[in-house]
Amino acid sequence: MKGTLFQNFDHLMACARAGEVTKELDRARFRFNTAVVADQCVALSSRMLKSAGSSGIRHGSALLKQHHDILASQAHIANIADPFAINLGGMLFGQASIDPSV
């Protein structure tokens, strides 16, 4: 995830420096890559919590605190990946973007 996000921005900055607009399909892919982070982090954090056993569910658990924070972040509209997945999928099949913010 981390490598992908940084590579995406390397590309965006390279386009900006060259005075070019990044291709719409790339922008749609970058939006999806960004939005899906919260879903993936919630899933990975859940696995760690389970593996930590009862220490992960006690009040004061640092792992649980971080899990709650990660969980909360997925409530932000920019971190809800489904619309970006649908848009990217459609574009990969040749449809026009349906996301004006991409």
Partner 1 sequence: MTATATTATATTTSATKVQQDKPAGENHFGLDSPRAQVLLEAARNMGPVLEARQEACNSDRRIPDDTIADFHAAGFFKMLQSSEYGGYEMDPQVFYAVLLEIAKTCMSSAWALGVIGVHNWQMNLFDDPAAQEVWGKDSTVLISSSYAPVGQVTPVEGGFMLKGRWSFSSGCEHCDWVFLGAVVPTAEEPWNMLNYRTFLLPKKDYKIVDNWDVVGLRGTGSHDIVVNDVFVPEHRTHNMLADDGGRKFMHKPPLYRLPFMQVFSRAVSTPTLGALEGALEKYVSVAKTRLAGAIMMHDDQMQNGSPLKSMRRLPA
Q: Which residues contact partner 1 (rule: CB under 8 A)?
A: 1-3, 5-6, 9-10, 12-13, 16-17, 19, 21-22, 27, 30-31, 34-35, 37-38, 41, 44-45, 48, 51-53, 55, 62-63, 65-74, 76-79, 100-102
Helix (H) / strand (E) containing 63: helix 62-73
**Judged by CB, which is closer to partner 1: 19, or 94?**
19
Q: Which residues contact 90 (CB under 8 A, 6 or more apart)?
A: 96, 97, 98
Query: For residues 4 and 90, which CB has a smaller minimum distance to partner 1 in the complex?
Result: 4
User: Nearest distance from residue 90's CB to partner 1, in Å?
Assistant: 17
Tokens of 61: 């658990």
- The nearest distance, CB 95 to partner 1, in angstroms, is 18
Which one, 68 or 82, has the nearer CB to partner 1? Answer: 68
52: CB partners within 8 A, 6+ apart:
61, 63
Neighbours of 49 (CB within 10 A): 17
